Structures are given as structure tokens and as C-alpha cells.
Structure 1
Amino acid sequence: MLIGTLLIISWLFLLIRYPKKALPISLVAVVGLAMVGLSVLWQDNRELAQLARMGLHFKYEAEQCPADKPLQVSMKNGNSVPMVELQWRLAAFAPGDTVNLVQDDYDAPRYRGPGQLQPGASWSDCLPLPPLRPGYRAQTLEWRAERVQGRFAN
């Protein structure tokens, strides 16, 4: 914090004392910072759009999945590039409600996708249930992915 304050005070002193030399350098620095900021925003928006095109669907399927993994996940890569990695946390909601019923513990499971998934390809698997708040049955809840993070090939 102190170093940043000293840098700003020094920059202001140089700008006031030597405006003909400091102003062009300051403008170049501002343009450079703006370009870096715009590239970061562009990459974040591109990643969010790619994650939005990933189709993640969850369904409680006790008959089709093993007893210890009753939640079926199906995923489709709707992007034009391969997905390299995908991870998420599960959220459960009672129909028509907005309160997450999954206990958010530090040791709550984090779920991962299949690794690399080619464009247009699908993947399905069975997952274990996260710990739920007492009094709710998993088969009556709506399941969604939250905190989705992923990487895609360039």
C-alpha cells in the first residue's frame, strides 16, 4: 500500500514538474493498461459464453445408477472447441423454491467432468449425492450446477 502511494505521488510530481516528458509516457502507460484490461474482459466473456453452451443436466435415477451414486449427470459440449476440464458444485432446490438445500461444508464434494470432451460429444455418468439438509428427500429435489469452472482448448 505504501509503495503504491509513493509511486502515485512520484508520478504526480514528475507530471507537474516535467509535463512535456511525463505526459507522453503516462499516455502510453494508460493505453497499455487499457489494452490489458480489455483483453482480460474479452477472455472472461469468452469463457462465460463457452460455459453457458455446456449442457449440464442432473436427474435422480436410483433405478439406473448404483445405490451409492444415484444422481445421473449428462453433459453435452455445445462449443466448437474441445472442453479440457470442467468442475462444479451441486445445488438442490425444492420445486418452486430458491433456497439451496445442500449443506455447504468445507469438505463438500466437488464434481468433475470426463476430462476432454470433443465438440458436439455427450457424456453421462452417475454421481454420489452431496450432504442435504435434514428432512429432504433427494428424489423430490431439482438439481443444478453452481460455481461451474472450465477450460477449453484454443
Structure 2
Amino acid sequence: MIIGALLILTWLVLLLRYPAKALPISLSAIFGLGLVALWVVWQDSRETRQLAHLDLRLSYAPDSCPADRPLRVQMKNGNDVPLQTLHWRVAAYAPGDSVNLSENTYSAPRYRGPGDLQPGAEWSDCLPLPPLRSGYRAQSLEFRAEHLQGSFAN
């Protein structure tokens, strides 16, 4: 932090002392930083748009899944590019409530999607339940995927 303050102070001194030389360099540096910022914002909005085209559904299905993995996940890639990686957290809600009833502890399971999901393809699997707060049963809750993070092919 001190180094950053010294750099800014040095830049201001050079700008005041030698404005004819420092001003064009400063403007080109600001222009370059602006281009980098625009590129980062564009990439982030593109990823957000692509994640919005994923159809990810979670349901408690002990009859069609093993006992140790009763959470059924079904996903369809609605993008025009392949999905390469996907990570998410599972949240559990009582019907009509907005309080997350799953405990996101360090020992909670990590949820990952398939390694490579082609455009229009579907994937389903059975996953373990997240740890729930005491007093709640999984069959009475709605499960949702939150905090999706993924990457797509270019």
C-alpha cells in the first residue's frame, strides 16, 4: 500500500514538473487501462449470459438415486458453445421461504458439472445432499443451485 502511494505521488510530481512529457504518457496509460477494463467487463457479461442459458434443476429423488446421493441434478446446455467446467453450491429452502437452510461448511460437498457438455446436450447425475440445519428434512425442502461459476469454449 505504501508502494502504491509512493507511485501515485511520484506520478503527480512528474506530471506537475514535466507536464509536456508526462501528460501524453499518462493519457496513453489511462487509455490502455480503460481498454483492459472494457475487455474484463465484456468477458464477465458474456460468461453471465452463457450461465443464464444453462437449465440446471435439482430435486430430492431417493427412489431413483442411491441412498448416499439422493439429490438428482439435471442440466441442459442451451448455449451454442460447449460447457467446459461448472461449479456451484446447493441451497435448500422451505417452500415460500427465503432463508437458506443448508450449512456451507468446509466439509460440505463440492458440486461439479460434467467435464464437457456439448451444445443442446443433457446431463443428469445423483449427488450427495448438503448438510442441513437441524430440524429440517430433505423431502420437505426445495433445492437450488447458486453461485454458478463456469467456463465455456471460445
What is the TM-score normalised by the length of structure 2?
Answer: 0.97
Find out whether 1:15 has 2:15 as its counterpart: yes
Q: Deviations over 1:60-110 (max 9, x none)?
A: 111111111111100000111000011111000000001111112111111
Counterpart residue type for residue 116 of structure 1: D
Task: State the partner residue of 2:89.
Answer: 89
> How far apart, in 2, do the equivalents of 1:137 and 1:89 lie?
19
> How far apart, in 2, do the equivalents of 1:89 and 1:8 lie?
41
| RMSD over equivalenced CA pairs, Å | 0.8
> How far apart, in 1, do the equivalents of 2:13 and 2:69 lie?
65
Aligned partner of residue 68 in structure 2, secondary structure: coil
Aligned partner of residue 47 in structure 1, secondary structure: helix
Task: State the partner residue of 1:126.
Answer: 126
Aligned partner of residue 151 in structure 1, secondary structure: strand
* 1:44-123 correspondence runs (5 A): 44-123=44-123
> How far apart, in 2, do the equivalents of 1:119 and 1:104 lie?
31
Q: Percent of aligned positions with the same letter in both sequences?
A: 66
Task: State the partner residue of 1:150.
Answer: 150
> How far apart, in 2, do the equivalents of 1:119 and 1:65 lie?
26
> How far apart, in 2, do the equivalents of 1:84 and 1:72 lie?
21
What is the TM-score normalised by the length of structure 1?
Answer: 0.97
Q: Which runs of at least 4 in structure 1 moved beyond 6 Å after TM superposition? A: none
Q: How many residues align?
A: 154
Find out whether 1:41 has 2:41 as its counterpart: yes
Q: CA deviation at 1:15?
A: 0.8
> How far apart, in 1, do the equivalents of 2:42 and 2:149 lie?
17
> How far apart, in 2, do the equivalents of 1:72 and 1:104 lie?
19
Find out whether 1:30 has 2:30 as its counterpart: yes
Q: Deviations over 1:29-86 (max 9, x none)?
A: 0000000011011101111111111111011111111111111100000111000011
